[in-house]
Structures are given as C-alpha cells and as structure tokens.
Chain A
C-alpha cells in the first residue's frame, strides 16, 4: 500500500505555498514591535518602594494584602488606588529570585530569598552605589 500523502510536501510547495514566504518587511515589523516593547516596558519603580517591600517581608513572610498595609503604614503611597501594580512588582521580584513565595490557605506568602537579603544588606551599607545597580536591575526586571 503506498501512502497517499507521500507527495504532499512537493504538491503543496508547487500549489498553495508557491511564493508564500515570510517577507523581510514582515520580519522587520516583528523587530520593530520588539524594540517598541523594550522601550515602553521598563516601569520606573522607585528604589525606596522596592526596599520598603523587601523590608516588610524581611522578618516574616506576608501575603500581598498585608504587605500593602505595611507599605501604607510606612507612608509608601505608590500603590494607593493602584493596588494591582504591587502584585506586578512582587511577581517581577519573584522572577528575579529576590523574593520567594509559598501558597498557604489559598494565599500567597512572600519572603526574602538569599539574594534579596543580600540586596537589602548592601543597600543599608552603601546607599549611593547600590541605588545605581538596583535601579538597573529593576529596569531589566520590568522586561
């Protein structure tokens, strides 16, 4: 029994796919979209905001809601009326392995990773220099 689909490839190449190729214009359009995406994405998180978050989970793990309460108490208003952004940032920090999370009773509890502890320690030691590299990291993290 010969396979009826045996010539499919050559058949399609000669018929429906004739001259059907992903053009350079299309490729460039993809590249442009990627670049635009790179420029628009970096969200300029405030270093103080990040440090405040790290500090809030420094001693015990907390869920997002309790972190937001603590930030509020510290007079950190970045996420006021914009609470969703906090979760975005938490997610980014998690991706960057600065914090880790744990699901307990349907709530996600965040705590510091060893990397996060190091950031926090160095930040306290040396504010000026740290600001630069953390800032860099955050811009990258936003991608």
Chain B
C-alpha cells in the first residue's frame, strides 16, 4: 500500500514539474520561438498568439516527449509544425489573405506599420530574407539566426540534410539575384 501512495505522490509532483519545465522553456526560448514564428507568419500580433499556443501545446504533449531529441529541438519542431498548420488553415487562407489584398489597394492615408522603410544595409538583408519563399526562409533563419546545426534543422523540419544544404545554396543564389536587381 505504501508503494501505491508513493506512486500517487510522484504523480502529483509530475504535475508541478511539468509546469516548471514549461516555465523554464519560456524563460530560455520564448524570444527565439517568437522570432521563429514571426519569420513564418510575418505579423507581430499573430506571432505572439501562436507562440502562446505553442507553449500550451508543449505542456499538453510533454508526456509524449521521449528524449530522442533534445527538448529544444522538440520545442522547435512543435513550433514549426504549428506555424505551418496555421498557414494552411482555413482562417489564414480566407480571412488573412483577403485582408492582405486590401493592403494592395492604393489609399491616400496609407499607414505604414512599424517597419520604417529605410534603405540601410540591415533592412535590405532582412527584407530580402523575409521575402524568400517559405522553404528557403525557414532554413536560412534556423541556420543563420538561431544558429542551429544542419542535423538539428533536419530533425526540426523532417527534411533530409542534403536537401537542406541545397536549399541554403539556392537561397544564397536567390539573394544575390535580388541584390543585383536592386543595384
């Protein structure tokens, strides 16, 4: 009987532990995850909402984490999948995209959001990357911003490592074309 009670106690501790793990993950990685999400969805408010959902999802799935990868890789993978789900969702395709179309209709009082367009070197590089197609943007960001190894990126995106190499190479070419175009 003692053994059973003990089991119940450890289970209770598990709950607390899970909350603590999420707290720690948020402490360590929430900004990185938020930035990752932003590169997918390109909108600050949406990125914050999705990041919030990602950490809740992690909490719910924590018992499915089997230690095959590091918890960081696991977290990134959930984040990446969550973003892709969002981009595929009905809401995004129907509502957000049609709102976006409105932006292209010229209006006199055009509110330029936050991002002040200056022609600095930094902005040019950032904009160029943000305008890359998703599959390139994703690997470039994970590799150069989050500074993850190709193996880690492969685990997060479930894309073969050689494909990732090719995409990085292709991304460089695309970027060069862009820069030449601008000059």
Contacts and interface: CB of A to CB of B under 8 A. Distances in A.
Q: Per DSSP, are chain A's interface residues mostly helix, strand or loop, or mixed?
A: helix
Contacts of B55: 30
B142 to A, nearest CB: 11
B126 interface: yes
Contacts of A38: 15
B63 A95 contact: yes
B17 to A, nearest CB: 12
B44 interface: yes
Contacts of A11: 121-123, 125-126
Interface residues of B, number: 48
A33 to B, nearest CB: 5
Contacts, number: 120
B38 A20 contact: yes
Interface string A108-127: 00000000000100100010
B4 interface: yes
Given A21-B31, A27-B30, A37 B60 contact: yes
Nearest to A6: B144
Interface bracket on A: 35 or more
Interface string B114-143: 010000011101100110000000001101
Nearest to B51: A22
Interface stretch (A47-55, A67-75, A133-141): A133-141
Given A11-B122, A11-B126, A130-B1, A140 B38 contact: no
23 contacts: A5-B125, A8-B144, A11-B123, A12-B35, A15-B126, A16-B38, A16-B130, A17-B35, A22-B48, A23-B48, A26-B52, A31-B19, A33-B52, A33-B56, A37-B59, A95-B63, A122-B4, A126-B1, A130-B4, A134-B4, A140-B14, A141-B11, A143-B15
